[in-house]
Structure 1
Amino acid sequence: MSIPLGVRAHAGTVALLAVLAAVACLLVSGLPRTMQASYDEALRRSLATAGVARTDLVVTGAPALPAGEMHSRAEFEAAGRRWRGLIPAALRPLVAPGGHISAKTFRTPADGTGDIREFVNLGWLSDADRRVTWVRGRAPGAPSSMRYMGSAIPVIEVGIAEEAEARMGLRVGQMRLLGASVSTAVRIVGVYRAANPADPAWGHDADMLHVTRVVPMDGPEELHTTTLMSDAGLAALSDRTRTLTYRWILPLDPWGANALDAPGIPPAVADFHRQVDVQGDGTISYRLVSGLPQLIDAFMTALSAAQTVLYLVLGGLFAVALGVIALAVRLLTDRLERTLALARARGAALWQVVAAGAGLTALTVVPAALAGYGLSFLPAGPALPIVHIGPAVVVVAAVAFAGTRVALAHRAPLRERRADLAAVRPSARRVTVEALVVVLALAGAYALRARGPSGTAQQDPYLLLIPVALTLAAALITLRCHPYPLRLVVRLAAKGRSAVPFLGLARAARQRFTGALPVLILLPALSLSVFAAVIHEGITTTQLLASWQKVGAPIKVTSIEDIPADVIERVRRAPGVDEVALALTGRAQIPDTGEQPYTVAVQLDAWRRVTEGAPITPPALSGATSALLSPALGQRGAFDLTWLSEAPVNGRGVIDSVPGFYSSGQFILLPWEVLPWPAANTLLIKGDIAPAELARLVPSATVETQAAALRDIQADPLTATVRTTMVVVTVALGAYALVAIVMSLVAGAEGRTRTISLLRTLGLSDRQARWLVLLELLPVVLITAPVGVALGMILPAALGPGVDVSVFAGGLPVTGHAPGLLTPLALAAGLALCALAGSYAHATLTRRRNLDAALRVGGE
């Protein structure tokens, strides 16, 4: 047989197979690349937004003896080069050049303190010349000395931040004595500000820009600031009171990170930590400080959840794509059957016949696979092994299926068989294997629910296999059970007056080709597409709920101090404000136990009006002294609460969270009427008013909106990837289901055309012909579609806690998985329309056939 001649003779089937192979290779290679690129983007964004104080590698040194002290820039820089030389290879791409070094004292008391204790720490920055701008005075110079209490002590020239000048009363020209036993003095010679306040490096040195206020439980209020000295001041910086710390900042480059290498980062940091530890001696000790491992672990947990869900649906998509390709290959080999049978009868060897069928398939699939593989490189992303392996699997599977089927069909010359007869009874071995698959799938689903989440950030192969097993089990059960109701319907149709229902349903019962393979394709396609739609809708719904839980109202205005009554009134009268609920938050105390829970008092009736139509409902409280307590406080009866004033409170139950305020720890919800006088530091607003206008009306407040909170949740790259992939997979699987229906129609077209043409000679009308085709297709759609849709809706609950997508829904658990009717109805309607359109088109085409051909021998 000439392969090019076979291509020309069956151009339509060859083109269909080529398109299916190209699309499958594009999906299996392109989607993983896009997903991995989004994983990298999510990791980089999470590291970039976490703050340098958590991501950078910070080597700290604490001198224990004078011999361990460093008094020159050269010593610090030499140590910095040593740290960079010790960085493990896995961390080097993440460590950016540059960084800086600092030397600081902490809790250094200054003289002259009264009711407020002042601590003036000494500080040095290796890159101060580019990070600060001197606004008054001058930059510090070399230190000097002075006599104090009969001893010589160093006098170090320092500069102070503008905030320290304003809040602590420090002035240029002022001298302060430092240390509990006065070991050093400082002379203030200048005032500076940050040259670029947005410079991330200030995340390590915020104490040099701002004054820190500390209120100890058993002491007076404290104010802390850190001054800035010159390189020359290092010569006089010593650790006589053991409060001196050196720090080498090795900055992290977030854009050098990728998700594939992320699992190796925590072990590399631990290795670096061990190497830093052993560098110390008896004079100085070193240690590594970094929050990078915790950030990576949190990211890997979210990534594992994303990969689990996406691998579930992508694995199903790939399996369905291979099934549809197998259906197309079977259609092609059926078209070649007569030609190959004739060649076999004329003496062709079996290997020649197999080579002809497999060669034609390879000639079709290989170029299409290469085209799909090439198109997959259009989206950005790393080339994972699946990108290269997937197209090869498609080609090998298609060619192997074609060769195997041809070999089985033509292993003996002139082997006659009837394609319209009922299938033979399955062997006991086959029934046993199918029953074993069903039992293992059900047992696996039960074990997965009983076990719960795997508790690791690694992929769980057990979890990935269970959905496939459940889908296969459902398909096998459907295949074994669907003939029984179909035979009953055929018997009922046989008693009717019209022959069309009986003929159509009888052909459906006898067509082996439109039975097993289409069901094995349709059922997973429908179930996984519904599963993806259910998960997508569950995430979307929970994201909305999480945004309301975070803000508690369409708009929330929170002030650091009580909002005056006239300001509240201006907000009420502002254009666009429909409703305002007042709330007061603070820390209260339970005298009997000493507990200090967070407390919020809200105008509950007004709050309900503010949240009308929202997915949250404020709780109801009866009585001015009623209260709801957090689970951490537990059930309580009457107790006293000290907040603004002491008042009796009656516990009325437990509440898991107060939307917009508290969701963990110890907290109490009270009605606003419990307050001894009207006060509010939080406004819950319903209306259409710009946040900037509210910020202008309440200058001391921050403004949050539910819409912005929802955007923040949805803006996460991992979340966007999961939602987008779910939509793509749903559409692709729905399309594959339709293709399976069309190919089932095309597969029996020849025999069906011959039958309809013969029946036309007996008076079959066009309308009856369309009904005949439709009734032949209906069993596949009517039996498989409900099972597939039902399985897709059950899968999220069957997988139970193994599929945790809360990280994509603002941290709230995605429970219920209540899907809307849109997706199931759309899929069912699409299949029905496809069946109707196919039956109409097929009946129309057969009408053009010459009826004389139906009376010839063989129907030709």
Structure 2
Amino acid sequence: MGARSSTSSRTSRATRVLAPSSVAPWVRTRLRAAPGAACALALLVAFTACLAAAFPRAVDRYEDAGLRSAVTKAPAERTTVQFYAEQSTTELPPDEWESALRPDTLREQYARVLAAVDRPLVVDRAQSSYGVRTTKPAEALDRWLPRPSGLPANVSLVAQNGLADHARLRQGRLPRTTGSVTPRSQAVEAAVTTETAERLRIKVGSVIHVPRALREPLAVRVTGIVAPREPQGAYWSTQPLLRTPSLMRNPQALPPANTYWLGALLLPPDAAPVLLGTQGGPERYWQLAPATASLNARDLPGLSSSLASLLSGPGLLAVRQATDPAAEANTGLDTVLLSHQRLRDGITPLVSVAAFGTGTVAAVVLLMAGGLAAERRRTELALLRARGGSLRGVTGRLLAETAVVAVPAGTVGLAVALLAVPAPRHAHAVVAATVVTLLACAALPVRAAARHALIRVHGAREDLTSVRPSRRRTVAEVTLVVLALGAVVALRRRGTDGSGSSDPGFSRASGASGASGTSGSSADHLVSLAPVLVGIIAALVLVRLYPLPLRRLARRVGRLRGAVGYLSLARAGRTPVSAVLPLLALLTALTTAAFGGSVLAGVADVRERAALSATGADARVESLRALPAALPDQVRRSPGVREVSPVNIAYDVNPDDGAEPVTLAGVDPGSYASLARRTALGPFPAAALKPAGSPRSDVLPALASPSLADRFGTRPFSVRLDDGSLVSLRITLVRETTPAAPGADFLVVDRSRLPGLPEPTAGKTGPTTLLVTGSHLDGGALRMLAGGNADVRLRSEVLARYVDSPLQSGAERVYTAAVAAGAGFATLALLLALIRSAPERTALLARLRTMGLTRAQGRRLLILESLPQSLLAALGGTLAGWAAVRLLSPGIDLTTVALATATDSAPAGPHLRTDPWSLLVPALAVVILTTGIAAAQAWWTGRRSSVRELRVGDPR
């Protein structure tokens, strides 16, 4: 009766514990019982939620900064949306034309043009402008204006609004009108910029006469000289001629008498009607500069739609209704947006790979934390189920217990991310933090529900050597294999695909007639998951194969003397099935790290090769004419210089076949062959440029590019040099690249046998180019030696130009941070796995010590027991990383990510390659960390008494 009463009492207490009214006491009691575990879970959830919420905001930041940088760095003549209406295309009576050019009319039309712009395109009103200008420059009649080749200077007349707001008065006063200005007015006032005044020798009070048909010339008196407040702003840079005069070339005149100056005279807006009396073809214009601060990468589709509407859609129709039926629109902003979209499309999949990899590892760690908690409380939960606790009641209380800790921690992590990474959008961050919090809340209840669905007092063995894979597991693994293969094929088929010109006159920026549509997101999730899926498949395959070699090794080691080896292999073979999770975390992290490290190393390699190809050496000193003959020796004595290779280059040498001209380089065979060998840019033997027969042979051997080799074959041919002399050549070597002529069809010959190249200087022949090799070269010293007529380029300076886009640098930082976070989560997963098995290992050592096991043998036992798992993870991670890189490399072109501009190109090898350091270092770190923790545990256990460990370990 007493025993039955005691059992009934315990059952009633368990029932009361699980009663709905006791939710709060249950949660409070459990949190007080294990405060350390609750704090650890809170820290893990807060950190993971912070990283998850910060990632989309960091991506938004660098994408927005990249878009704004692309628009800011593009010339304003390309990014400004320009509307114009020429006099010749508008059917208006003469009296109405004069009224149409008045400032009040233009101001009203400008307001209507602004209203036609649809969001998300926002106009920067401070830099936008409107006015009237002449489209045909007029020859000034004044001979005091500079004439560099005898041709008279030309001027364009511009009446643009807002001159006083965008310029500082340097001399004189701003121009104004007296009375009403008409096409028949004889004189007007104007202002010029400081650059125009300096180069055209204009002073305050100067009068410039502009010819007119059937009338006296128009006298334009300069009353003021102004300096632009923002010279690079759209107000001055949309038409650069407003700010800076240009030295133009007349294609119909023969040199040297074919150049003349072209400048702009800035008239007050009230003087615009006077342009009708000139022969300059006046036109009205309205220029809308985009507000770069309001540009967001997420609005690219909307921006393209707004531009398309303004260029050839409803927006243009509204502008024509507001201004002139013949008004036209033009801009290059659409090409800038398209170029940015292509760069973004090339970068986004790579960043997504790191995001999915790190996210997978973080999810595994959260699941492992829940599993560790469930394992720690396995006896407690089994007892509750045995005493009548319902599965719903137990899991509900566990969910409430976890939510009390995880929800506040996730909220704190989200708040930290929102404050640390400012960005306009919050939804993605909130969703990411919510997913992390929900996963943390559900890990423990789901694990407990799966394990305690059936009430069992004693569980069966659950190690790798006894549990056989089920059919469901086989189906799941086959599904993952299919998904991984599909992702790999999609990424291997993935391909990657802006130019603009600048005209110093009043020509409109060339651009596409319509805006190109852009997709909101180019990253296919399946493609981005490919490396993660490769790691998952590797983990599943290794777990299936893991017991086989352990069984064979255990049989062989069992025949040897000593029990440590056999015990360690037997213990390793009895690793629980749940070890799949830490192995999955390690393999995913190692695969992502190898992939990410290979990407970063490949990007650096592409930039190095592109910079080396652009300069041909560590530094390049180049001039169109001959350099001083003593300059090579002076450069050799400069600090850091190891060797100088002099080269004579002629860029427009005409072959005897009359086809396109080629680049001919005369080199010193010895130094140039050494340079080509060190730089790996088409290495060749120096003797190949020496004649095979007589040293005085008339036919010179030449090294050529493949296209020229196909063009001329091996037959002798002649080329005519700049001085008119003919040189006979025969192609004996073919190379893809050469240091002297990057990116061009080239011929390389021995310069000592090349007459008349280059021009003689002071009775001696000097090179036109110096290719300098060395370390820590001083660019300033080289420029000082070369003088002002030579161009000096350092490879380090060219390399720095390739990372001028925030989109590239931001993506690299986010990628590096994601890989580092993945490594941290993988380490945490490894620690959780070791913590889970620590009590069992401690009890094992205590039992074995009572049987005579020494402390040294205990350390060896734990280290040898951990080695198979760590070696499995290291080997599997290395193979998975190598396989991921090899499988996915054909579909990834790193040129877009590595180089800042679309015109830059790497000479070879732009695809992803395996980086040995990225493969081996993380794998070795896993082995070292695992064995180090095992050794530390053995050392710590050896210092303690065996009684307590045995008491703790007996139930196990």
TM-score, normalising length: structure 2: 0.80
With over 3 angstroms needed to count, the CA separation of the structure-2 counterparts of 1:585 and 1:142, relative to structure 1, is farther
TM-superposed CA distance for 1:89, in Å, is 1.7
Pair 1:381 & 2:422 matched: yes
Name which of structure 1's ranges 581-590 and 373-382 shifts more when overlaid on structure 2. 581-590
Aligned residue for 1:202?
A: 236
How has the CA–CA distance of structure 1 residues 505 and 11 changed in structure 2, closer, same or farther, with 3 Å as cutoff? Answer: farther
CA displacement, residues 273-331 of structure 1 (integer Å, 9 cap, x when unaligned): 23235644897622222211111111122222222111111111011111011111111
In structure 1, the gaps of 5 or more residues are 146-150
Answer whether contact 1:134 1:190 (CA < 8 A) is retained.
no
- Structure 1 segment 60-79 matched on structure 2, within 5 A: 60-63=84-87, 64=89, 65-67=91-93, 68=97, 70-79=100-109
Question: How big is the shift at 1:578?
Answer: 5.2
Verify the 8 A CA contact 2:54 2:417 in the aligned structure 1. Answer: yes
Give yes or no for the alignment of 1:396 onto 2:438: yes
Q: For 1:721, give the aligned amino acid.
A: G
Q: Distance in 2 between matches of 1:833 and 1:857?
A: 25
Corresponding residue for residue 135 of structure 2: 106
Q: Which residue of 1 aligns with 2:476?
A: 433
CA contact (8 A) 2:647 2:740 kept: no
CA contact (8 A) 1:117 1:221 kept: no
Query: How far 1:533 moved relative to its partner?
Result: 1.3
The answer for the alignment partner of 1:593 in structure 2 is 658
**Mapped pair 1:21 → 2:30:** no
The answer to whether the 8 A contact 2:63-2:807 is kept is yes
Matched, 1:626 2:702: yes
| Equivalent in 270, 293, 302 of residue 255 of structure 1 | 293
Cα shift readout 1:560-606 (whole Å, capped 9, x = no counterpart): 66545467776566666554434445434446435245665555654
Structure 1 contact 630–668 (Cα < 8 Å) conserved: no
In 2, Cα distance between equivalents of 1:657 and 1:671: 17
In 2, the alpha carbon distance for the partners of 1:768 and 1:183 equals: 112
1:723 — aligned with what? 812
In the alignment, structure 1 residue 521 sits paired with structure 2 residue 585:
yes
* Alignment partner, residue 801 of structure 2: 712
Q: Deviations over 1:77-115 (max 9, x none)?
A: 2222121111112112x5343422343323445387997
Query: Superposed, which structure 2 residues align to 1:145-544 within 5 Å?
Result: 176=209, 178=211, 185-190=217-222, 195-196=227-228, 199-200=231-232, 201-208=235-242, 209-216=244-251, 221-231=258-268, 232-238=270-276, 243-273=281-311, 274=313, 275-276=315-316, 279-280=319-320, 285-382=326-423, 383-419=425-461, 421=463, 422-450=465-493, 452-453=495-496, 458-513=522-577, 515-544=579-608
Task: Confirm or deny: 8 A CA contact 2:192 2:265 kept in the other structure.
Answer: yes
- The Cα shift of 1:841 comes to 1.4
Amino acid at match of 1:498: G
- The answer to whether residue 725 in structure 2 is matched with residue 691 in structure 1 is no
Structure 1 787/270 Cα, relative in aligned 2: closer, same or farther at 3 Å? same
Distance 1:217 1:415 in 2: 102
Contact 2:705 2:737 in 1 (8 A): no
1:137 to partner: Cα distance: 8.4
Question: Alpha carbons of 1:588 and 1:155: their partners in 2 closer, same or farther (altered >3 Å)?
Answer: farther
Cα deviation for residue 476 of structure 1 reads 1.6
Q: Indicate if the aligned counterparts of 2:156 and 2:262 stay in contact, CA closer than 8 A.
A: yes
SS at match of 2:879: helix
d(CA) in 2 for partners of 1:663 and 1:857? 72
Q: Shift of the alpha carbon at 1:407? A: 1.7
Higher mean displacement: 720-729 or 37-46? 720-729
Compared with structure 1, are the counterparts of its residues 178 and 423 closer, same or farther at alpha carbon in structure 2 (3 Å cutoff)? Answer: farther
1:625-704 aligned within 5 A: 626=702, 628-629=704-705, 631=707, 635-637=711-713, 638-646=716-724, 647-648=726-727, 649-651=729-731, 656=736, 662-663=742-743, 672-673=751-752, 674=754, 676-677=756-757, 678=765, 680-686=767-773, 690-697=778-785, 698-704=787-793
C-alpha distance in 2 between matches for 1:427 and 1:99: 70
Q: Cα deviations across residues 785-810 of structure 1 (Å, max 9, x unaligned)?
A: 11112221332331234333322322
Q: Structure 1's 272 and 528: CA in aligned 2 closer, same or farther, altered over 3 A?
A: same
2:873 maps to 784
* CA positional deviation for 1:856: 10
Which residue is 1:796 aligned to?
885
TM-score, scaled relative to structure 1: 0.88
| Offset at residue 336 of structure 1 (A) | 0.9
Structure 1 residue 652: Cα displacement? 5.2
CA distance in 2, matches of 1:122, 1:462: 59
Q: Return closer, same or farther for 1:550/1:236 CA change in 2, 3 Å cut-off.
A: same
- Aligned partner of 1:148 in structure 2 is none
CA distance 1:840–1:579, shift in 2 (3 Å): closer
Distance across 2 between alignment mates of 1:136 and 1:372 = 60
- The answer to whether 1:123 aligns with 2:161 is no
- CA offsets, 1:426-456, max 9 Å, x none? 2334323322422442354235324545997
| Counterparts of 2:332 and 2:591, CA distance in 1 | 42
Tell me the equivalent position of 2:611.
547
CA deviations on 1:182-229 (whole Å, 9 max, x unpaired) are 677233533875513861233233334313322426767252514415
Deviation track 1:226-254 (CA, whole Å, cap 9, x = no partner) reads 44152354222128867333332222332
Higher mean C-alpha displacement, 786-795 vs 105-114 = 105-114
Give the secondary structure class of the aligned counterpart of 1:426. coil
Name which of 16, 41, 56 aligns with 2:80.
56
Contact in 2 for aligned 1:160/1:190 (Cα 8 Å): yes
The CA deviation string for residues 611-657 of structure 1, in whole angstroms up to 9 with x for no partner, is: 88556567677255625247499532444434413434445566555
Output the aligned Cα RMSD: 3.8
Structure 2: how far apart are the matches of 1:689 and 1:61? 55
Distance 1:266 1:362 in 2: 45
1:229 and 1:295 map into 2 onto residues whose CA distance is 30
Q: Whole-Å Cα distance in 1 between the matches of residues 747 and 331 of structure 2? A: 36
Q: What code does the residue aligned with 2:310 have?
A: F
- Structure-2 separation of matches of 1:460 and 1:207: 46
Identical counterparts, % of pairs: 22
Q: What is the letter of the counterpart of residue 241 of structure 2?
A: D
Q: Is the 8 A contact 1:102 1:246 kept in 2?
A: yes
CA distance in 2, matches of 1:652, 1:195: 59
Counterpart pick for 2:833 among 744, 747, 757: 744
1:518–1:280 Cα change, 3 Å: closer
Q: What is the aligned partner in structure 2 of residue 87 from structure 1? A: 117
8 A contact 1:558–1:702 mirrored in 2: yes
Q: Which runs of 5+ in 2 are unaligned?
A: 1-16, 18-25, 142-146, 498-517, 691-699, 758-764, 900-904
Shift of 1:516: 1.7
Q: 2:928 aligns with which of 805, 818, 832?
A: 832
Distance 2:659 2:794 in 1: 35
| Greater shift in the superposed pair: 161-170 or 520-529 | 161-170
